[in-house]
Structure 1
C-alpha cells in the first residue's frame, strides 16, 4: 500500500518519502538577490522532506516580484546558493529551485524597471515594494520578438541552478505570475501567436518548459500550475480545456513532474490527473487558504492517484514535519507575522518536536 512514507523514484533521485516541501517566499535574501547562511540553515533543517522546492527565485532582474527575494541570473547569485544546496545534501536531502518570473506583479521601486506582461493590464491589488504596499502598476506589454527571450531566461537560470548544486528546477506557472499571466484569459489580450486561442495562450509556458528541459534535462524540470486560480486578478475562463491542452504539450517533453495546486474543484483536478501521464505532485489545500495540508489530505490525494504531496505552511513551523506525521505527533502552528519580516525569528527558531523525559 502506498503511503506518504513510501519511497519514490523521481527522475534520477530516490526520495525516501512522498512529502514535498512546497515553495514559499520568505524574503530573507541579501542585497543583490544573494542567498545567505540563514537560508542554508533553514533548508537544511527541513532536509527530511522527500523533496524541497525552494522559494521563488527570479530568473532576471525584471522578473523580480518582491523585495528581498533571491535571484539566479548572475554568477555571484549562483555561487551564494552553493552553501544552501551543500547544506541540504549533507543532511541527506534533495532540492529543486523554483524559478519565478513575476511579470506584471512587480514595481519599479523594487527593480528600477517597468514590469512586463503579456498585455498592458495591471494586476489586481497592491504589490510589495521597498516603500511598502503600492498599487500594481500597468505593465509594458511584451513585443512578440521579446517573448522568447523571457522563456529562455528560465533556461539560463536553470543552468545556473544546476551549476549551484540544485537537483533540478520547478517553473512557477501558477498564482498569477508571468507564465500564469500568459495562460490567463483576462491578463493576456494578445492577438499574436502568444494569445487568443488556447493554443496561443499555452505557447509561452510550453516554450519556457522546452527551453529549460533542453538546458538541464527534462528529468530535472518540473512546473507548478494553479488551474482556475484567481491570484492577482488572473482568470482562466476555460480552465479544463486550457490545462488539458497544456498538459498534452508538456507530456511530449517528459518533464520530471507537474505540481498542481488545489485551486479548482476536485473533479477538475482528477481529470487533469488522468490527462497527465507523468509524476503528479498535488498541493491538497488552497494556498494561503483557511486550511493547512495534513496527513488526511495527503492520504486522500494519494488514493486519487497523486504520487507526491506538497505541504507549505506546516513545513515552516515544523522542520521535522515528516517525522511528526509519521509518528502522530502534534503539528506546531505557524506565526504568520514572521512570514516576511526578515531575520531569523520565525525562520530558524522553530524546533523539532521535544519528547518529554
Structure 2
C-alpha cells in the first residue's frame, strides 16, 4: 500500500498518525435510554488503531432519535456513557469524534421514549418503513418545526457538542447527509417552507450553516467536522439543484475554518473536484463501494486528506495492521450489523500475535 496512506496529518486541532479512518456506522447497541455501554467501549477501543474513529450517529436531543437503541448525547447519563467510550479509545491510543445525527422525519414514535411525532422542516411523510420493536411500520407525517423551534434545534446541537467534549471526545462531526434533518433542510422535496429556512438555495442552506456556526462557536472550529452526501437519494431525498446547492453550502461553511469536510461521494467526479478545490481545510472522503486501492488513489490525487471505510473497519478491528502487512481481511456479516450483542460486533478475530 502506498506510503501516502501512512503520512501523519492534522484535522484542525486533531493530530492523526495516518490517513485511514473509521466511518460512522449505526449499530443499534446502546441502552433503550440511549446510554453507551461497556460493550460499546470495547467495540470502539478495539478499532483505536484507525487514524480517527467517527462514531455512530448520536442524537443531540430526544426528538433527534429515529432508530431503536441509538445513543444520545444530551443528558448526564449519556455523557457518562460516552466518557467510558472515549477513555477506552484514548487508552488504546486512538482519536474519536462523536457524530451528531438528528434524524428528523426518519423516525417513528415507537422508537422513542417520548412517543411524539417526528419533527422535520415540513409536513412531508417520507416513503418507506421504519423498523420498530413490533416490526416495520410506515413512518408518520412529521410535525413541521416552527421558525422558533428551528432556532431551538440549533441550540440543541450546540449543547450536544459541548456535552461531547465534556465526555472526552476529541471533537464532533455534524451529520448533514443521508436524508436526516440537516439534509432534509437542504432538499427540494422534504423542505417546502416559506420562511427564511425554505425556498431559495440561500435559505435552504441556512440551517446547516447555523448549526455549524453554533457548534464551532461552542467547542472550536478545529474540533468540528461536517458531513455531506451530494446527490444521495437515501431516505427519500430529492435535490433538484445539486450543482448549485453544494457549492453554495461549501462556500458558506468555508469561512468558519472547520476541521474538515467529510464527503460521502455520490459519483459526480466534477462536483467532487470542485468542492475539494473550494474547501480551505482538510477533506475526509468516503468513496463507498470502492476498494482500498481506489480510495488511496484519492489521497494521491489530492481529492482527500483522509479516507474513511465502514464495513472494512466493522469486520476488522485490526484493519490498520492487516493493511500494513497485506494480511487477508475478515468478511463482514450483514445479518449482525444492527442490534444484538457481541456477535458481529466485538467478536471479529484479530491476527495472531507475533513474538519477537
Q: TM-score range by the shorter chain?
A: over 0.9
Tell me which residue corresponds to 1:288: none
Tell me which residue corresponds to 2:151: 148
Aligned residue among 211, 214, 221 for 2:214: 211
Tell me which residue corresponds to 1:308: 306
* CA distance in 2: counterparts of 1:164 and 1:84, whole angstroms: 9
CA contact (8 A) 1:4 1:298 kept: no
Please state if 1:23 is matched with 2:58. no
CA contact (8 A) 2:176 2:182 kept: yes
Tell me which residue corresponds to 1:131: 134
Tell me which residue corresponds to 1:240: 243
Deviation string, structure 1 residues 246-277 (Cα, Å, up to 9, x no partner):
11111111101010001232222111111211
The TM-score, its normalising length taken from structure 1, stands at 0.96
Tell which deviates more after alignment, 269-278 or 61-70.
269-278
- 2:262 is paired with a residue of what secondary structure? strand
The TM-score, its normalising length taken from structure 2, stands at 0.96
Tell me which residue corresponds to 1:317: 315
- 2:65 is paired with a residue of what secondary structure? coil
* CA distance in 2: counterparts of 1:264 and 1:129, whole angstroms: 32
CA contact (8 A) 1:82 1:164 kept: yes
Please state if 1:338 is matched with 2:341. no
Please state if 1:298 is matched with 2:299. no
Deviation string, structure 1 residues 320-355 (Cα, Å, up to 9, x no partner):
111211221111110000001311111010011237
* CA distance in 2: counterparts of 1:276 and 1:131, whole angstroms: 45
**Number of matched pairs:** 351
Deviation string, structure 1 residues 198-239 (Cα, Å, up to 9, x no partner):
000000000000010111111111011000110111011111
Are residues 17 and 204 of structure 1, via their aligned partners in 2, closer, same or farther at CA, if it must alter by over 3 Å?
same
CA contact (8 A) 2:14 2:223 kept: no
1:13 to partner: Cα distance: 2.3
Tell me which residue corresponds to 1:109: 110
Please state if 1:7 is matched with 2:5. no
Please state if 1:269 is matched with 2:289. no
Please state if 1:189 is matched with 2:192. yes
- 2:90 is paired with a residue of what secondary structure? helix
* CA distance in 2: counterparts of 1:243 and 1:151, whole angstroms: 20
Give 5+ residue unaligned stretches, structure 2. none
CA contact (8 A) 1:270 1:304 kept: no
Root-mean-square deviation (CA, aligned residues, Å) is 1.4
CA contact (8 A) 1:229 1:264 kept: no
* CA distance in 2: counterparts of 1:97 and 1:239, whole angstroms: 27
Please state if 1:121 is matched with 2:124. yes
CA contact (8 A) 1:295 1:325 kept: no
Tell me which residue corresponds to 2:89: 88
1:296 to partner: Cα distance: 0.8
* CA distance in 1: counterparts of 2:153 and 2:132, whole angstroms: 22
- 2:5 is paired with a residue of what secondary structure? coil
Deviation string, structure 1 residues 157-178 (Cα, Å, up to 9, x no partner):
0100000000000001000000
CA contact (8 A) 1:34 1:70 kept: yes
- 1:319 is paired with a residue of what secondary structure? coil
* CA distance in 2: counterparts of 1:36 and 1:294, whole angstroms: 32
- 2:10 is paired with a residue of what secondary structure? strand
* CA distance in 2: counterparts of 1:331 and 1:163, whole angstroms: 36
Deviation string, structure 1 residues 74-106 (Cα, Å, up to 9, x no partner):
011111111100000000000000000000001
* CA distance in 2: counterparts of 1:193 and 1:261, whole angstroms: 27
Give 5+ residue unaligned stretches, structure 1. 286-290
1:15 to partner: Cα distance: 0.6
- 2:6 is paired with a residue of what secondary structure? coil
What aligned pairs does 1:32-111 form with structure 2 within 5 A after superposition?
32-111=33-112
